[in-house]
C-alpha cells in the first residue's frame, strides 16, 4: 500500500482524487500494490463534505507532513507560501514530494533538489509545466541520450486560447479577455498569464531540466500579448504566419543560454503554429533525436492530475524497491543568460505613414544603414492618405534593431505601431514539418 497525503483540494487535487478512484484497478496492477489517499489537508473541510468522506480531511497539515504512515506528499495548493515550508518539511521527513506548483518550483528548485538528495528522496513536478503532457519526463528519460539545444514552448493556455479567439472571432484583445474571463479561461487578474510571467516561471523549470541551469525569473526577458492587436494577427496571417506566445530556450554555449518569453510570428507550416485554443506544446531539439514536438492540454484538473498521478506511480516503484533513481541528475549549474538585446531575431514591423513618395525610401535607408535587410514589405491600399506598411526583416541583433526602430519612429510622418519577433531563433529556422 502506497499512502498519499494531499495538500489542497481545488481543481487539481480533485482531479488527482478522481483519477485514483476511477482507475484504481488499473493503477494497482501497474504499481503492484494499491495507491491510497490517506489524508487531505484543506482550510475548510465543510466545503467538500458532499465530495469525499469527511474522515479523509484534516485542517492540520502536520497530519500529513510528519505522519509516518504517509509515503508521498502531493502539494497541489499553489503559490509560494506556505507551499515552500510544507515541501521542505516533507522532504526533511524523508517523504517523496509531487507538486503541480510552478511558482514554488521555479523559485526554490535548488533548495528542493538538495534537500531531496540529503534525505534520500526526490521531488517530482511534471504537472508544473504543460499540464498532462509528459515534457519533463521526456527530457529526463525518453530523450536522456541527447544534449538539448533548443526548446520552444507554448506553455500558457490562457494566452494561446486568447490569440486563437482574437483571430477566430476577429475581435480585439480587450473583448476577448472579457470573454475568456467569463468562460473561466482567464483569471480576474490576468497579469500572470497575459504578461508572460506564468510562461516565464515554466521556462525557468524547463531550463533546470533541459540545460541543468540555475536561473531565476528575473534572468528571463518576458513580454506578454497585451500589445498584440487584431490588425497584427491579420497582417501576419496574410503573410503566412500565426502569432503565438513562445517560451524560447537556446543553448548558445556550455554556460550561456538565451531564455525569453515573447509573442512570435511562426510560419503556418510549422506544427507550433497549429497548436490552438487552450492546448500547450513543447518543441524540443536534441543533438541526437533532432526535432520532437509534444502537445496536449496544458491545464485543467484532469490533465494536470494525470501528470501528478503518473509521478506518483513512478515514485511508487521506487518506494516498493526502497531506492531512489533520479536525484543523481538534479545538480544545477551557474549559467549566463544572454540579454535580449544581444539575441538575434527576425522582426515584423507595422508602421503608419503619411502617404508621401519618400516614405519608403527613408525607411529602407535607415534599415540599410543598420545592415538590416528586408525579407518582405507589403503596403495595403492607403486609406485617408495614411499608409500602413508591414515589413518582415531578416536577422538582426535586438540592440541594433531597437536603435534603428527608434530612428525610424523619429522620422517625420512615420510612426511605428508595433514590432514582433519572428521565428524560433536563428539556429532552428530550418523547419522540416
Residue ranges in 62-121 that form contacts with a second copy under rule CB under 8 A: none
Q: What's the min distance (Å) between Cβ of 288 and a second copy? A: 4
Which member of 64, 84, 91, 143 binds a second copy (CB under 8 A)? 143
- Asked if residue 56 binds a second copy (CB under 8 A), the reply is no
Nearer to a second copy, 37 or 372 (CB): 37
Helix ranges (H only) for 183-324 are: 191-194, 197-211, 230-238, 301-320
- Residue 243 cell numbers, joined: 502569432
Which member of 115, 133, 163, 392 binds a second copy (CB under 8 A)? 133
- Asked if residue 126 binds a second copy (CB under 8 A), the reply is yes
Helix ranges (H only) for 98-156 are: 102-119, 135-137
Q: Which stretch binds a second copy (CB under 8 A): 100-108, 190-198, 275-283, 354-362?
A: 275-283
SS (H, E, C) 312-352: HHHHHHHHHCCCCCCHHHHCCECCEECCHHHCEEEEEEEEE
Among residues 385, 381, 344, 351, which one has the least CA distance to residue 366? 351
Which member of 62, 85, 141, 227 binds a second copy (CB under 8 A)? 141
- Residue 360 cell numbers, joined: 519608403
Which member of 58, 92, 119, 146 binds a second copy (CB under 8 A)? 146
- Asked if residue 367 binds a second copy (CB under 8 A), the reply is no
Contact call for residues 102 and 201 (beta carbons, < 8 A):
yes
Of the chain, the end-to-end C-alpha distance in Å amounts to 46
- Asked if residue 31 binds a second copy (CB under 8 A), the reply is yes
Q: What's the min distance (Å) between Cβ of 96 and a second copy? A: 15
Which member of 39, 109, 137, 350 binds a second copy (CB under 8 A)? 137
| CA 270 – CA 137 distance, rounded (Å) | 24
Which member of 217, 271, 360, 417 binds a second copy (CB under 8 A)? 271
Q: Which residues are catalytic?
A: 202
Residue ranges in 315-354 that form contacts with a second copy under rule CB under 8 A: 317-318, 321, 323, 325-326, 328-329, 331
Among residues 90, 88, 107, 112, which one has the least CA distance to residue 6? 90
Residue ranges in 291-310 that form contacts with a second copy under rule CB under 8 A: 291-297, 300, 302-303, 305-310
- Asked if residue 50 binds a second copy (CB under 8 A), the reply is no
Q: What's the min distance (Å) between Cβ of 386 and a second copy? A: 36
Q: Which stretch binds a second copy (CB under 8 A): 3-11, 69-77, 126-134, 418-426?
A: 126-134
Nearer to a second copy, 99 or 343 (CB): 99
- Asked if residue 289 binds a second copy (CB under 8 A), the reply is yes
Nearer to a second copy, 333 or 342 (CB): 333
Q: Is 363 exposed, middle or buried, given 0-12, 13-18 or 19+ CB atoms closer than 10 A?
A: buried
Q: Which stretch binds a second copy (CB under 8 A): 42-50, 106-114, 132-140, 231-239?
A: 132-140
Which member of 10, 32, 120, 339 binds a second copy (CB under 8 A)? 32
Nearer to a second copy, 50 or 321 (CB): 321
- 60 to each of 8, 13, 16, 43, 44, how far by Cα in Å? 12, 17, 20, 9, 11
DSSP 138: I
DSSP 254: T
Taking CA 231 as the corner, what is the angle to CA 228 and CA 236, rounded to the nearest 5 degrees? Answer: 85
| CA 57 – CA 426 distance, rounded (Å) | 53
DSSP 272: G
Nearer to a second copy, 131 or 196 (CB): 131
Nearer to a second copy, 135 or 246 (CB): 135
Q: Which stretch binds a second copy (CB under 8 A): 51-59, 125-133, 259-267, 360-368?
A: 125-133
| CA 218 – CA 213 distance, rounded (Å) | 14
Which member of 288, 383, 384, 385 binds a second copy (CB under 8 A)? 288
Stated as kind and residue range, the H or E segment containing 369 is helix 359-369
- Asked if residue 202 binds a second copy (CB under 8 A), the reply is no
Phi-psi bin for 418: left (phi > 0), alpha (psi -120 to 50), beta?
Answer: beta
Contact call for residues 204 and 134 (beta carbons, < 8 A):
no
Among residues 329, 388, 326, which one has the least CA distance to residue 355? 388
Q: What's the min distance (Å) between Cβ of 294 and a second copy? A: 6
φ, ψ of residue 89 to 5 degrees: the values are -60, -45
Contact residues: a second copy, CB under 8 A: 15, 19, 22-23, 26-27, 29-32, 126, 131-134, 137-138, 141-147, 269, 271, 274-277, 279, 286-297, 300, 302-303, 305-310, 312-314, 317-318, 321, 323, 325-326, 328-329, 331, 432-433
Amino acid at each position: 500500500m502506497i499512502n498519499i497525503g494531499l495538500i489542497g483540494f481545488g481543481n487539481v487535487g480533485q482531479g488527482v482524487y478522481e483519477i485514483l478512484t476511477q482507475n484504481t484497478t488499473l493503477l494497482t496492477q501497474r504499481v503492484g500494490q494499491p495507491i491510497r489517499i490517506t489524508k487531505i489537508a484543506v482550510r475548510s473541510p465543510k466545503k467538500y463534505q458532499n465530495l469525499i468522506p469527511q474522515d479523509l480531511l484534516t485542517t492540520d497539515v502536520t497530519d500529513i507532513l510528519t505522519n509516518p504512515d504517509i509515503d508521498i506528499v502531493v502539494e497541489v495548493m499553489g503559490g509560494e507560501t506556505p507551499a515552500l515550508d510544507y515541501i521542505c518539511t516533507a522532504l526533511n521527513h524523508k517523504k517523496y514530494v509531487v507538486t503541480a506548483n510552478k511558482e514554488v518550483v521555479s523559485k526554490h528548485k535548488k533548495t528542493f533538489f538538495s534537500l531531496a538528495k540529503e534525505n534520500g528522496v526526490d521531488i517530482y513536478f511534471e504537472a508544473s509545466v504543460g499540464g498532462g503532457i509528459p515534457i519533463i519526463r521526456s527530457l529526463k528519460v525518453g530523450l536522456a541520450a541527447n544534449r538539448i539545444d533548443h526548446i520552444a514552448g507554448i506553455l500558457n493556455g490562457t494566452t494561446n486560447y486568447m490569440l486563437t479567439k482574437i483571430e477566430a472571432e476577429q475581435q480585439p484583445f480587450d473583448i476577448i479577455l472579457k470573454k475568456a474571463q467569463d468562460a473561466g479561461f482567464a483569471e480576474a487578474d490576468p497579469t500572470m498569464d497575459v504578461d508572460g510571467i506564468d510562461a516565464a516561471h515554466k521556462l525557468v523549470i524547463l531550463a533546470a531540466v533541459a540545460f541543468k541551469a540555475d536561473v531565476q525569473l528575473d534572468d528571463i526577458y518576458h513580454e506578454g500579448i497585451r500589445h498584440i492587436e487584431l490588425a497584427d494577427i491579420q497582417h501576419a496571417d496574410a503573410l503566412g504566419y500565426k502569432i503565438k506566445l513562445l517560451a524560447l530556450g537556446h543553448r548558445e554555449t556550455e554556460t550561456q543560454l538565451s531564455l525569453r518569453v515573447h509573442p512570435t510570428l511562426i510560419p503556418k507550416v510549422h506544427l507550433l503554429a497549429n497548436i490552438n485554443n487552450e492546448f500547450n506544446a513543447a518543441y524540443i531539439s536534441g543533438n541526437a533525436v533532432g526535432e520532437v514536438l509534444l502537445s496536449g492540454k496544458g491545464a485543467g484538473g484532469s490533465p494536470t492530475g494525470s501528470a501528478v498521478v503518473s509521478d506518483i506511480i513512478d515514485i511508487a516503484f521506487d518506494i516498493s524497491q526502497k531506492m531512489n533513481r533520479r536525484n543523481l541528475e538534479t545538480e544545477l549549474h551557474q549559467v549566463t543568460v544572454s540579454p535580449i538585446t544581444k539575441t538575434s531575431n527576425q522582426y515584423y514591423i507595422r508602421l503608419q505613414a503619411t502617404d508621401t513618395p519618400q516614405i519608403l525610401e527613408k525607411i529602407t535607408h535607415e534599415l540599410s544603414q543598420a545592415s538590416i535587410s528586408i525579407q518582405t514589405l507589403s503596403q495595403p491600399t492607403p486609406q485617408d492618405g495614411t499608409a500602413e506598411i508591414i515589413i518582415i526583416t531578416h536577422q538582426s541583433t535586438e540592440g541594433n534593431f531597437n536603435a534603428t526602430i527608434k530612428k525610424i519612429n523619429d522620422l517625420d510622418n512615420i510612426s511605428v505601431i508595433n514590432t514582433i519577433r519572428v521565428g524560433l531563433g536563428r539556429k532552428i529556422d530550418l523547419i522540416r514539418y
